[in-house]
């Protein structure tokens, strides 16, 4: 069976504690865990479910853009 590689960014979540794993090349595919290892295990499961639901991405394919909007917010002084 051939394998597909995905880029996963791992972030520490200071607000809740634990870690968040975000799959860079699968928009919206992410998971979390109390430890780095748990977050990575959970994101592997999330990738499998994502692929079952959305399908296997084609190399270099970007998701279809639904809308694009400029959001303006008041300037914050630091």
* Per-residue confidence (pLDDT) for residue 73, from 0 to 100: 62
Whether the pTM exceeds 0.85: the reply is no
74/34: higher pLDDT: 34
Supply the pLDDT for residue 32: 94
The string of DSSP codes covering 4-68 is ----EEEEE-TTT-SEEEEETTSTT-EEEESSHHHHHHHHHHHHHHHHHHH-PPPTTPPPPP---
> Hey, what domains does the chain have and what are their CATH numbers?
1-78 (3.30.2390)
Per-residue pLDDT tens digits for 15-70: 888 999 999 888 889 999 999 999 999 999 999 999 888 877 665 566 566 666 66
Question: Rounded distance, CA 9 to CA 32, Å?
Answer: 11
């Amino acid at each position: 069976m051939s394998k597909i590689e995905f880029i996963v960014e791992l972030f520490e979540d200071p607000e809740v504690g634990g870690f968040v794993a975000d799959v860079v090349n699968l928009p919206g595919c992410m998971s979390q865990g109390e430890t780095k290892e748990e977050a990575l295990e959970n994101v592997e499961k999330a990738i499998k479910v994502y692929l079952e639901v959305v399908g296997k991405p084609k190399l270099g394919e970007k998701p279809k853009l639904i809308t694009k909007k400029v959001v303006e917010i008041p300037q914050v002084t630091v």
